[in-house]
Structure 1
Amino acid sequence: MFGKSFQIFLFIIVSIIFTSCSDTSDGDGAYVYNPAWVTITVPSTNPYTLDKELVHLTGGAFISDGWSRCCSGSPSDTGVTVTWRNATTGASAQATQYVQYGSFLGTPYIKSHSWAADIPLVMGSNSISVTAYDPEYSDTANITVIREADTTPPYVIYIRPNDQSTGISVSPYISASFNENLNCDSVQADTLTVQDEFGVFATGTLSCSNQVLSFDLLQELAFDTLYTVTIKAGIKDLVDLNMSDDYQWSFTTSTPY
């Protein structure tokens, strides 16, 4: 019984300390209320210019000092709601939230709280606001995102397996990620091929989703063999700009045990 009471006492003391530390002084030694707040950390410039149909925003949000609903331990129980609104288009929605929890005397608390949102844009200037609110207070951050015409063809930014890698499984995950969403209607069955050093093509199924091409093998590759992956020119983005040159990389499978 004494141990439980002592834990409760310590928790109350630490809660008071946390609350005091999160307040700010008004200059006369008296503490004033420090409300919930929200930040936009990506993009880091305001205004921000890009040539895509979506902008990816991320940031942080924190709970009001006096609102204690949070911290049940559930990832969705952040205690604060984060929403975005594009005033230019009138579109709005909730942001996706992420939390990291700590624990003090068995009681969970939020160590960090971040949010993310992919927001559709129109050409020209887009006035976007992000609001965090709980039953006590709300706070809003604003950013202007300027969408310009897309003049950049799609290009590969990430591949699996890595180029010139060795010791790769004979059942590898083969994929290519692009800098932007693809027009998947421009993808044909032979847009991506996997060919061994003897000229034999691997059999598999090609799929396209957003920015990623994936090749699912129908049978294992050969051991200790060099394979070359080729993405043919002509694949398009959402405004029909096409990749003008083939893209290739290679890898070597592992030796049998």
Structure 2
Amino acid sequence: MSGTVVFESMKPLVAVTMGSLPGDERRGPRTSLNVAYMQAVEGAGAVPVLLAPEMSEGAIEALMAQVSGLVLTGGGDIDPARYGQKPHPKTTGVLAARDEMEDAATLWALERDLPILAICRGLQMLNVSLGGSLHQHLPDIYGEGIKHAQTEHGFPRGEATHGARIQARTCLAALLGTQDARVNSMHHQGLDRLGDGLTATAWAEDGCIEGAEMRGRRFVVGVQWHPEEMVGSSEEARRLFAGFTAAARKTTR
């Protein structure tokens, strides 16, 4: 038993951001997270610690002071006022408390060079926190050639539906072990103007940015797809979470 405790204590704690669901007649407001994130983080050898939108600033700081990495997860759209735009008719799921929580956690991690893995909305949040902007509705920009919101067209969440070209000699290319990835897609927004220090590293066939990273950092990598939904079938997805965990382990407090 003591040996198990020692082994578990060696695993890095990583913050995983959550969303919220509104209350109804049966239940009050509640936090939410797709279990695939926790399974992917644990499967890679880390321990997920959940970070909720409703937490106070002090609680967020106290939690971030204990972790060795941050996973920014997928979810609803970011308030476009954060990057100087008015809402598009298709912009939906905005939650100010989540925007504020993730912005605070992102800036905390960046200031201390904690590893960050940013997924889908998480990549968009990273970009906005760094001063970048978003395309609020991809069909307006890239057309309908690629179904970026694949579940709306009958494709399962974990199915790869389009390609992503990975830039050579980047952290993402090294992590995935390929420059030609097959990815899933569950988003209708994407990166437009890149934030300070952020470099695009992957693109879909239509030109939509599928990955970005910050060079000169311990580990700040974002992808527009959902690798947590693909860890059971994709070696590239497993490598991405393993690389993040390895970076977090090196910063274990």
Quick check: TM above 0.5?
no
Structure with bigger strand share is 1
Bigger Rg, which one: 1
Structure with bigger helix share is 2
TM-score bracket for this pair, using the shorter chain length: under 0.3
Higher relative contact order (CA 8 A, sep 6+): 2
